[in-house]
Structure 1
């Protein structure tokens, strides 16, 4: 019993120390004046004139959160917490660490106000990530290598998101980190640094379109802040009976019920996959390969999943099916719907949020590093 209490005391002290580090980190950030950023003198070559915002932030993070005391790992470590952390819970009987709390929903990220010297389309690669106070690790929203860059056009300037991998908790400030480059063909040219910066989303502010600026352009995020959120993981969209109805592509999205706590201009659609191809081959075991799976939703409301099958022209939908899922705190929900002459099963897993990784350590869900 004594050793257990001693362990709890150490974790409580670590929590206090962690909160102190937050204050120190904010002070360092405020005291570091942003240094000069990238200057584009040529549409092909971007010249570095000094360290950027992200570099100074990186150094501050490493000295505090990357220390042995804080134990958050390396700067590039991604969050390993599951979006289905409490899915297995018995309804009405939840661990202390499981709560419905404030969270951000990322609807879209697009590139706007591109510098006149740059030419569309842009072949973009790099990372866009969010970092909350749950574990201080990166929650990837967009991540592509140079070999797998995305071609972003002026007509469709949106990044193809693959995250977050779990809900972004917004009890405190959420840090967005952007490292994006534009790829140019040819061995004798250098890739342009499009963005290399950070952005603070403060927990008490509610706005739908925060913007991150650089001398090359602007990144616009469509974000909604939910006050009592749980996380929904769309485990699968699967054709279980009949022919494959998506031979010309499909679009699967989620709509969130309007929330009076959101600003009026906040969008409500989260695109899980949008595949327009001449012919979309049937996936393994009939599953639709979703680009995104995790959605933050308001408790006591409804999540609407929409499945749309493209026509051969790709300009209209042959089928448009909507399925409503009342939001739950745990367990899974399965629903069958008809798309054309086929039966499609949708499975959604529900889970409350973990607000602090230390709470999971205390209850034995996570082993301390």
Structure 2
């Protein structure tokens, strides 16, 4: 059930960061390449690993050209948008036989304090055989979107004050789970979008029906909308939303927690 947040509690709402995409902008190895490994984020909420990309050697992603985005499946929760955030990269190229090569490995520290609201920024990491950019935006006073859908097509999301699109579902990607779940639902590849308290959630939906008819529509949904049903192509689409407020938590700086080290490695 939607619960209005009292104005007296606005001061304790936390800022957040949306991860728009992660793309490989440079590679010293000729394409195509098969990339696997992890990209994760840590914030001052609990400093635990929040995986943005995670693939094993037996399930690499095929990268065929420059500026290709890797298929994100996270984060699974809202990312804290105050002070510092840490992105850890440990990506490898699958080679022939059992010989693999380090492709991107290292840590980038992102200071989000004072960033302009909704401004798209690129956080690059140049290491080993590549340059990888994390495209992200800083949002103020956020809530959370979580939902499921049933259709063959694509869904992207953004907010009414920020048109940087986040891909939530693409049935053409090999990593997309197409198996129907309970009630005929299909899981989104990403489940969380940060939406400022004073903005609306915007969904763009593209669907292709059984007769190959293609349609698209745009939905603008306020914080008081928990469910919306519409017809698109040959589908009746039901969107369910769970809104949650994330409140600020006082945590020590990450460097203090890890004994002053300024470099962290995936373990």
- Report if TM-score (shorter chain) is over 0.5: yes
Unmatched runs of 5 consecutive residues or more in structure 1? 1-87, 239-245, 260-266, 359-369
Q: What's 1:236 paired with?
A: 148
Structure 1, residues 68-104: CA drift from partner, whole Å, max 9, x if none?
Answer: xxxxxxxxxxxxxxxxxxxx67434699799432110
Alignment of 1:111 onto 2:24: yes
Pair 309,89 (structure 1): closer, same or farther in 2 beyond 3 Å: closer
Q: Say which one has the larger Rg.
A: 1
Q: CA deviation at 1:305?
A: 1.4
Which of 223, 240, 246 aligns to 1:327? It is: 223
Q: CA deviation at 1:106?
A: 0.5
Q: Which moved more, 1:203-212 or 1:103-112?
A: 203-212
| SS, match of residue 350 in structure 1 | coil
| Coordinate RMSD, CA, aligned | 2.8
Alignment of 1:286 onto 2:184: yes
Kept in 2, the 8 Å contact 1:100–1:299? The answer is no
Matches within 5 A, 1:1-369: 90-92=3-5, 99-115=12-28, 118-154=29-65, 157-187=68-98, 190-206=99-115, 208-233=121-146, 235-238=147-150, 246=151, 249-259=152-162, 268-276=164-172, 283-284=180-181, 285-310=183-208, 318-327=214-223, 333-356=226-249
| Matched residues, number | 243
**TM-score, normalising length: structure 1:** 0.60
Larger strand share, 1 or 2: 2
| SS, match of residue 121 in structure 2 | coil
Unmatched runs of 5 consecutive residues or more in structure 2? 252-267
Larger helix share, 1 or 2: 1
Q: CA deviation at 1:137?
A: 0.4
| SS, match of residue 161 in structure 1 | coil
Pair 228,277 (structure 1): closer, same or farther in 2 beyond 3 Å: closer
